[in-house]
Structures are given as structure tokens and as C-alpha cells.
Amino acid sequence: MPRNCFLILLMSLCHSAWPNTSVAWQAADAPIAVEAGAIATVQPLATEAGLGAYQRGGNAIDAAVAAALTLGVVDGHNSGIGGGCFILIHRADGTAFAIDGRETAPAAAHENMFLRDGKPQAGLSETGPLATGVPGAIAAYYRALRRHGNLSFAELLEPAAQIAENGFPLDSVSARRLASTADKLMQFSASKAIYFKPNGHPYGEGELLKQPDLAQTYRGIARQGPDYFYRGPVAQAVSEWMSKNGGMITANDFGNYEAKTRDAIVTNYRGYDVIGFPPPSSGGVHVAEMLNILEPFDLRAMHQRDPVQLLHVIAEAMKLAFADRAYWLGDADFADVPRGLIDKEYGRLLSQRINVDRATPVPEHGEPPQWKSDLFERHTTHVAAADKLGNWVAITATVNTSFGSKVVVPGTGVVLNNQMDDFSVFPGVPNFFGLVGAINNAVAPGKRPLSSMSPTIVLKDGRPVLTVGAAGGPKIITQVLLAIVRTIDLQMPLDEAIAQPRIHHQWSPDKLMVEHSMDATIIQRLKQFGHVIDVLPLHSAGVTQAIGWKSNGQLWPVHDPRIPGQASVYVP
């Protein structure tokens, strides 16, 4: 997958009642599930950490954070405490919380910081000191645990610290990512010291990777709490390194960081409530917008009549939404992001622009209603878990591309993100993922860059039936869309919906990306609809994880078959 962030998704159902739903993964009047918890991640050690939290009396929030912290050790090319996260929580009492742990631009940041001689230099926002935003993951995890968890931060940090200290064998995915970024990691001494053997070669599959400095950092946070990270040795070490290497982040930037609580986005699709994350996530807005565009179509009948035409219509909805993303989306604390993007009538009007028989050019963004006045308030792994109390938690966390900025600050073991690349470096200039943006996503001090992370929870009659999220940069948004459409509209079993070949359209470039496993006859038909096709190479279609329900009433954690992972049910 091209985007290296990780998504932790936790989901659970209150066992006192059964949701009334016709979704394929649950039968009506099914028996009550008896499991205490379920969890699925892209790394067995992270799954075991979540199960361990359950065993010690933890709930879904505890299991999610335990898995997240462990992924920061064993899946560090995707995520870690040097990055950020979004946490979406739906409690058994029906309340929903969105905790924003997105990275922020340092106080010295400015919109021309990646220009040299008036020209944008993309490499500056991808690798090295200027690429890094102030990390937010630790602050967000701590806030979620303190308000909603049963266990202490120290209890969840220590098992991950032990893995970092004693080492773990690299899996094939981690070894491949390490090899592909070796030349950039070699540029930084502390990164080289961790990921390369004495002979200068990167560690390979099956070889033991130890991270003693990271273990020390984890234990420091366990002893002193987030202050160790934001106002203590880690903040000081990062500040000193940045000062010596041309970076902008200071100890004051760390000390001023704050995780924010925001109102979740709640929309309706065919009688289901869809809960998503608000800006600076673009995922919550545009999953909702695409569902609104698709709702006027009878997608199930279309699928039965012509499955390729269905793919075409979904692709056209993706294109329309991503055109809006490029213009309207940004950090709502800094930019005017119209709530009209998720308006049902606006979605219906956009749907009328879709020709079901032919691809239609989208020259520019649309204009949502009341766009001046009705505004939002000022490379991924996915974990899914559920507890017996009915807490649902979705956490998406990231360091952005593989190993983030490639910088490990000496003495900390912490891989720093390269999230500054998610800003619009310059209007119309694409970032690493080919996304373009406008002034709403321009760099500014303290601003949070736009994100594609899309933690999502689906309810029926107020009860949870699906939680889903993904990895893959902008493909996160379209993967979540496809999972919802394939389960609700097409009534596919959850594992089949996740395994099906995927499509992705992000407006710019004007190409329909299709997974390499897509049947050649389907690709040819899509070309006949007028789409310019870009066949994605192996390992680049993204990764989805989810939890639903089996027909016998049991929780059904599903991990994406495209990469190794583990889905487990905890029984006390």
C-alpha cells in the first residue's frame, strides 16, 4: 500500500439488545453474542497486545491503545508516537466523541517554506527536518484512556517497551518497506543505527530488530506521562536536533500541542447512520458526500444487471467528491469548510451530473449550499476490536509515507512523521500521493494538514453493525466507501466485501485506478465507458480492516487478505 499510516479500528455491540438490520453479515433475530471482545490488526504482536489488555480487565479503548502503541514498535514504517491519529468513539450510551490527534505545523512554518527561488521543492516536504509536524498521537491516546479506558497508560506501554527492547523478527511487509526506503534512511545516523546491520545492509525478513532507545522513551512516558514526551527529554532532543539540522520545530511547539475534541459527522444512508471524522479529516466529509451522490441510484439492481456499470457510477461519484476535496477541504480552525458538502440535496444535484453510460469530465469543484455561512467548527494499518460493554472505537494513526520523514532523533528511537507533505505545498502542485489542494490547505503556523484518514462506524436503529477503516493515502476514502456499498447495497458477506478488487478515482489525475487483480474483461469494459485506466501494481491498492457480525450472532473481525494480519476473538 502506498500510504504508510496505520488505522486502529475498534468496535463493539452492547449485548443487551440486537440491532434490527438486513445487512448480509447479520441475520434477524440471531442469538446474542457472548464474546467479551474481538480484535483484528495487520500484525499478530499488536493483536496479542489488544487481547492482553482485555485479559487485564481493559475495555475496547484500552485494547485499541495497546495495539496502537505496539504497532508503533512492530509496524513502525506505518505508524508510531512520532506521528498523529484520529480517534472516533461511540459509547454504549449512544454518545460519540472525535479526538483529533493530528500533527500541527510548527510556529515558524509559513506557506513559502518549501519554495526555493520561487519554485516548489517536493523533497523538502517528504524527507528530512522540514517535513515533520508536531506529533499528536501520545496526547490523543492519553486523552482517550483517561476519559474512557480502564487501564493505566503505564500498563499499556510496558508490553510494547519489552518488545522494543528484546526485539522482534521482521515480517515480509516490514522488510520490504525497509529495503525500499533504505537509501533515504541511510542519510540519518540514528535511523541507520536502528535499521541497518554492521555490514551496512538493512535488516531482512525474519531477522531480529531491536529498538532500545524507543523502549527507553516508552518507559519514560510510562513513568511521567505525556509530559515526558511534550515537555521533557523527547521535546528537548527533537528541538536540539532540529536547531542543528535546519528544522523549525522547537520545544515550545511540543509544549503547546493539544489534542482536540471535535463533533463527529453523522449522516444517513439508506436508513443507516454513518459516523465519520470531521475536518481536518477529509474522509468523513467525502465518504458522506459520495454516499449522498450514490443514494439516488438503485445500486443493487444495477449490480445484478451490469456489475461494470456499477463500478463506473461509483467511480464517477468518487471523481465529483475529490474535485470538491481539492478546493474546499482544510483545517476548519483556519479555513472555511462548508457543511453543505454533506447536504443530501447537494449530493442529489451532483448525482444528476453522472452519465450512467459514459465517463464525464469534471473541470472543477462544485458549489455546496450556504458555502459562505454554514461552516464546520473552528500508510496506514487498521485494527478492529470490540468489547462486551458496547464501546466502539476507531483510531487511525500515521507517520504518513514509509518511515515518515526518515528521521529518528538520536536517543529517542522515535521515527518522525513527514505530515507537512499533506499540506498544499503550492496551489496545483501534487503531493506524494498525487493530490492537489488550494488555499484552504495551505501551510500556516499551528495548522493541521488535511488528512484522508477515515475512521467510520455504521449504526442501524442506533446500534452498531459495522466499523471499518483503511490504509492507503487517498485510497482510504474510497476503500471505506466500497466496503459500505458492498455490504449495505450489495449485501456481500464482510470478508468478501473486503477481498473484492478495488477501484479508485481522485479527480486529479483524471484516471481510474484499478487493482491488479481486476479481471481483464472488466478493465476493457471500463475503458469502453470512457475511463483512462491505470492498473495499480501489487501491494498498492490499500488495506482495509473491519468488524461486523456473523449470521449466528458472533462478532466477526476481518483483516484484509492482501497482507499478513491476525483477527482474534477474546473469550474470558
Please state the length of the chain: 572
DSSP 8-state symbol, 202: B
Q: Which amino acid is at 316?
A: E
Angle subtended by helix axes 153-166 and 44-55, to nearest 10: 150
Cis ω before 509 (30° cut-off from 0) = yes
Give the three cell numbers for residue 13. 455491540
How far is the C-alpha of 530 from the C-alpha of 514, rounded, in Å?
Answer: 14
Which strand (E) or helix (H) includes residue 153? helix 153-166
The values of phi and psi at residue 547, to 5°, are -135, 135
Does 380 qualify as catalytic in the annotation? yes
**CB contact set of 104 (below 8 Å; sequence gap of 6+):** 133, 134, 136, 253, 257, 446, 447, 448
Q: Which of 40, 95, 86, 87 is nearest to 67 (CA)?
A: 40
Angle subtended by helix axes 475-484 and 283-294, to nearest 10: 40
**CB contact set of 349 (below 8 Å; sequence gap of 6+):** 366
The values of phi and psi at residue 457, to 5°, are -130, 135
Q: Which of 156, 102, 134, 142 is nearest to 225 (CA)?
A: 142
Give the three cell numbers for residue 11. 468496535
Q: Which of 529, 562, 559, 531 is nearest to 547 (CA)?
A: 559
Catalytic, out of 380, 398, 412, 487? 380
Q: What does the buried/exposed string (b/e) look like for 377-406 if buried means 16 or more CB atoms within 10 Å of the residue's CB?
A: eebbbbbbbbbbbbbbbbbbbbbbbbbbbb
Would you say the C-alpha torsion 154, 83, 441, 312 has a positive or negative sign?
A: negative
How far is the C-alpha of 153 from the C-alpha of 53, rounded, in Å?
Answer: 11
Q: Residues with catalytic annotation?
A: 380
